[in-house]
Every structure is written in structure tokens, then in C-alpha cells.
Amino acid sequence: MTHRQRRFAATTRTLFTIATTSGVLAGAALAGAAPAGAASGAGRISSGVSYRQFDVPAAKGTVHAHLLTVDLTNPHVRVDLLHPDAVAARAQVSAMADAAGAVAGVNGDFFNITETQHPGVAATGASVGPAIARGRLLKAAVPTAQRFGPSLPPGTDTTDVFGVGVDRRARLDRLTLVGTVRTPDGNLALRGLNQYALAQDSIGAYTPAWGTVSRKRATCGSDTSRAAGCSTDTYEVRIRDGRVVATSATPGSGAIAAGTTVLLGREAGADKLRTLTKGERVRVRKRMVASASRIPYRFAVGGYPVLRDGQPLAGLNNTTSAVRTAAGYTTGGHKLLLLALDGAAAYRSGMTIAEVADEMRELGAADAFSLDGGGSTTLVARTAGAKTVSVLNHPTDSPERAVANGIGVFWKP
């Protein structure tokens, strides 16, 4: 018996498991090593969804892990993106899960949490990577140098996503925006969609999905530094029903009306938009292209890969420990694993990204993906008989942190 096998055999006595039989499940009590105040009743999870918690030895001490296992072959089960009403907004995982009717979920992508580097500029709360919900494209990825979060492993960038396709299989991929702005004088390249940061010299589109927050942040930073100043060379064009209806020399704010798209340009992109005049016909086309799979995504969320084909990525950080959230899959993408560490004081030392990759492999994942961690790490599920979810781990933030998005697990009879 290996060290890992002995460890899992030993922790079986302290596991809290909800067996996935048919119908709504009954509760089971937690015994053993969970921190004081841990959920002692079973989550109200139906067939195809299970939950357990267990201890994991790590370099800086024992951590407590919470795991959701989701059978994507079960016709009653689906997963989708949890998100607020707007891209540029934040909400607690529990609130998003309840609003969407999810039975369980975890937090998602890293996000624009603060703007201390640009005083007077509003933090948008928008996520870093691409986001797709119910097959609908919400946003594209910010430039890699403009991301929030820990250093990326070599060879990864902000276009990396974890998601589930319309074929009900989980997968890792990269999603790149391909778009054009068709004008009377020719086509302009569209390089952004509902992003808190645009590449230098580019044009981005903002739709009603963006929300009401100022678009000023999109013109700050550079292609090499998130801390670089905000551009003073900007221009906006408002398009409604295929025609230019308004222009502005500065990024705007407030709700974008249905049927309206705002184009925002910086530097060379601003110069190109200045050629457009009120009343001209303009058409915006956009789509996301997956680098590996031709299967459309039902949902997708940003982060970064840590495990591919059962092997940890080269160069994973093995020195910085933190509370973490991760997603992975096994059995050819038919089984989803959602892992969240506990942020209670006794376990807050956490794990390194390298340790997370190793743990996901031990849990059976072929591919795995790191999501936002620290104070964002949250796992929720319905306990027996409840109509709303409960937070089952102990987030390090109290109260529960508002985040950009999450992964929701849904069950319908």
C-alpha cells in the first residue's frame, strides 16, 4: 500500500460523504478532523452529485479539503457558469447559486478586485478570462500582463479556460476572440469584448451584459504592465440598430441599452474610431475560437491549467502555499471534480499549486485547472431539506467574499 493509499484509508474514518442514490439524499454526520463549526448535515444533493471532506497532508501542515463530484452522464445533472447580472459586478457564490437554482457550486475566475495602481479609477469586478454561460459569450480575455492572480505557469495565458461543451463533456482549451467592425471604409479588427483591460492600440466592444461600471479601466495599463498609467488618447462610438448614434472622447459609464454596442478605442484604435460619423452604418461581428476542440461550450470560465493528461505542468510554483480552489475531470470528461480547501485558522496554511496538481491527480483527474483562491475560495451545497445552499468550507474572508463568477451544479428531475 502506497503512502497515498494509507493516507486515504486512514482518512476514511473522517470522511463526510453523501452517496449519490436516486432522489434527494438524506444527511450524514461529520466525525473527526473538521474545524469547529463545520457543516454537520449532508447537503441536499440528488443523483449524480456527491460531496465529501477529508484531510490532506501538505508541506506546511495538514489542510482540510472539500470535494464535489459530478456525473455529467446523469441526464438530471448539468453544470453552468454562476455570474451576477453584469460582467462588471460581483456577488457571493451562495447568492449566485440560490438565484440560479443551483444545488452546489464553487467560486470561479480571478478578477479585477482593486485599482490601487490607478487612483480614481473604479475597479470593475470583471473576471480575467473568457466567460460563457448557457452557451452565450459574455466576455473575452484581458491581455495576460493585465491579469490579477498569482504568476502563471510557463506556456499558459489568460485565454485558457475550463468548461463543459454541448456534448456534456468537460475539457480544457483556449478561447480567442475573433471579431470585426464593418464600416463604410472597410473592416476594423475587434480585439476586446466586455473586458476590464484592452490591448494597446486596440478596439473593444461593450454590450448590455457589461453593466453600469465606467469603462475607464479598459484604457489603463499596458501590454507589459498592469500598473502603467491610463491612456489619454481614447474614443467611444455608440452603435444602435447598426448605425452610429453618438461619439465621445472619453470612456463612458452607465447602462448600455438593449440593441446597443459601445466601441471603445485606445491610441491607434481611437484614431480609427474617430473616422466614424453619426448616422454611418457599422456592423460588429464577434465569435470565440477554441484552439483544440470544435465543440461549442455550454459554459466556460477562466483560470489556468495545472494538470494535463495526468501530468502536472512544468514550472508549477512549489513554494507559495494558500487556500485554493480547483476544477478537474476524469473518465474522458464525463466526471467533474470541484475542490475547495478550507480557510479555517487550523488549515489556512494551504497548499502550493504544485501540491494542488498532485492532489487532483490522486483524486483521479486527468486534467485540472486552478481557479481563484485565498479569500475567494468558497464551496456551497444544499443540506438535507434546505431550499437554499450553505457554505460548507470556511472562507478566509468573513463575511463571504463577493466574486466575479463561479461554477454551478444543477439538478432537475
Distance CA 44, CA 49 (A): 10
- Whether residue 24 has pLDDT greater than 70: no
- Whether residue 229 has pLDDT greater than 80: yes
Q: Are 211 and 223 in contact (CB under 8 A)?
A: no
- Whether residue 39 has pLDDT greater than 60: no
Q: What is the pLDDT of residues 353-410, one digit of tens each?
A: 999 999 999 999 999 999 999 999 999 999 878 899 999 999 999 899 999 999 999 9
- Distance between terminal CA atoms of the chain? 41
Cis peptide bond N-terminal to 399, omega within 30: yes
CA distances (Å), 33 to each of 41, 55, 123, 342, in order?
A: 15, 7, 39, 12
The grid coordinates listed for 399 are 463575511
- Whether residue 14 has pLDDT greater than 60: no
Q: Are 153 and 313 in contact (CB under 8 A)?
A: yes
Question: pLDDT value at position 294?
Answer: 85
Q: Are 115 and 197 in contact (CB under 8 A)?
A: no
In 3D space, the residue among 405, 324, 306 whose CA is nearest the CA of residue 365 turns out to be 306
Question: pLDDT value at position 20?
Answer: 32
**What's CA 260's distance to the chain center, in Å?**
26
Distance CA 181, CA 261 (A): 11
Backbone angles phi, psi at 347, to 5 degrees: -125, 5
- Whether residue 323 has pLDDT greater than 80: yes
Span 238-257, mean pLDDT?
A: 98
Distance CA 173, CA 159 (A): 8
